[in-house]
Amino acid sequence: MNMKTKTMPYKKISQVFSAIDSPVRIQILLAIGTGEACVCHLEASLGLRQAYISQQLMDLRKHGLVSSRREGKYIYHRIEKPEVLELVRLAAEMSAIPQNTLVVSDHSQCACPTCASGAAKQVVTPAQSIQSLIKEI
C-alpha cells in the first residue's frame, strides 16, 4: 500500500471539514435545515448579498452537501447529506455554544412564490434551534 492510498480516507474526511470551514456556509446550512430554501430565503435570513450566498452554495454543491432544483425562475437548495447538521451540532457542543443560539431568523422578507403564498416547506424561526432541526433527521 503506497502513501497516497493510506492517506485517502483522511483526505476525504478533511474535505467535509473544508466544505464547512466558513461561518457563512454553516449559517446557510442551518437556514436550509431539513427543508429547502431559495437564495431569496437565505438573503432574508442572513442579510447577505445574493452573489455571495450563491458563491457559498456553489462550494457546498461542489462538496456534495447541497443539491439544487429549478422551479420557474427560482432555484431551491436542500441539504443532500443532513448528517452535516449533526456535525455542526457537535462542533457547537465542543465549543460550549448553547444550541439555542444557533438559530436563523425567519423568511418574512422573502418574496418568492413559496413564501408569498404561505406554502413554505420549512421556515426556520428564531424559536427553532439546531437541536430541533437535528430531531427531524
Q: Across all residues in the chain, what is the average pLDDT?
A: 81
Q: Is the pLDDT of residue 98 over 70?
A: yes
The stretch 47-60 carries a mean pLDDT of: 95
Give residue 15's pLDDT: 92
* CB 40, CB 112: distance < 8 Å: yes
Give pLDDT, residue 129.
Answer: 52
Contact 46, 124 (CB under 8 A): no
Domain boundaries, the chain: 3-135
DSSP state for residue 35 in the 8-state scheme: S
Give domain 3-135's CATH architecture: Orthogonal Bundle (1.10)
pLDDT band at 126 (very low <50, low <70, confident <90, very high): very low
**pLDDT-above-90 percentage for the chain:** 48
Q: pLDDT tens for residues 18-44?
A: 999 999 999 999 999 888 899 988 988
Can you give the pLDDT at residue 53? 96
Cell for 111? 418574496
